[in-house]
């Protein structure tokens, strides 16, 4: 029997920390005309901010789901790439926010229901 990874959530933590880091620079650049600090172009910071905030929903809800590590990692990667395409297409659209959050909620709740029925079957049916 093989052991799981020593730190299974390191990738998720890095994504969330990077999101917070980019959010700070976006809002530092978004201030008044008197004093502002732009690390790179405003469009790049805007894209990074929206990508980070939307993918934070995706990553967090997939971490809360009881999925195998390889499936969770694959879903996070594909989801963040899909969010990047959606953010580039329309940053302020409702569908860019609602689709990843809704899909992640369905995945999360279905994994919880599946886990509940597995435990229910083992505890109550077999006892």
pLDDT in tens, 45-85: 889 888 888 888 898 899 888 888 889 889 989 999 999 99
Number of continuous H segments (helices) and E segments (strands) in the chain:
4, 0
Residue 32 has pLDDT above 50, yes or no: yes
What is the structure's pLDDT at 105?
A: 92
Q: Please, which pLDDT band fits residue 8 given cuts at 50, 70 and 90?
A: low
Query: CB of 105 within 8 A of CB of 61?
Result: yes
Burial zone of 111 (CB within 10 Å; 0-12 exposed, 13-18 middle, 19+ buried)? middle
Q: Which two tokens stand for residue 76?
A: 């996070």
Nearest CA to 104 among 69, 70, 78, 125?
78
Looking at residue 34, what DSSP letter applies?
A: S
Q: Regarding predicted confidence, which is higher, 15 or 72?
A: 72
Chain-wide mean pLDDT for the chain? 83
């Amino acid at each position: 029997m093989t052991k799981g990874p020593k730190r299974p959530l390191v990738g998720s933590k890095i994504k969330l920390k990077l999101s917070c880091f980019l959010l700070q620079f976006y809002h530092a650049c978004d201030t008044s005309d008197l004093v502002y600090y732009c690390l790179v172009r405003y469009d790049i910071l805007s894209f990074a901010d929206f990508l980070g905030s939307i993918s934070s929903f995706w990553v967090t809800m997939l971490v809360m789901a009881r999925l195998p590590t390889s499936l969770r990692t694959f879903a996070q990667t594909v989801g963040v790439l899909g969010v990047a395409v959606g953010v580039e297409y329309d940053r302020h659209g409702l569908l860019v926010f609602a689709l990843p959050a809704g899909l992640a909620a369905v995945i999360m709740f279905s994994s919880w229901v599946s886990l509940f029925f597995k435990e229910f079957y083992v505890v109550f049916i077999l006892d």
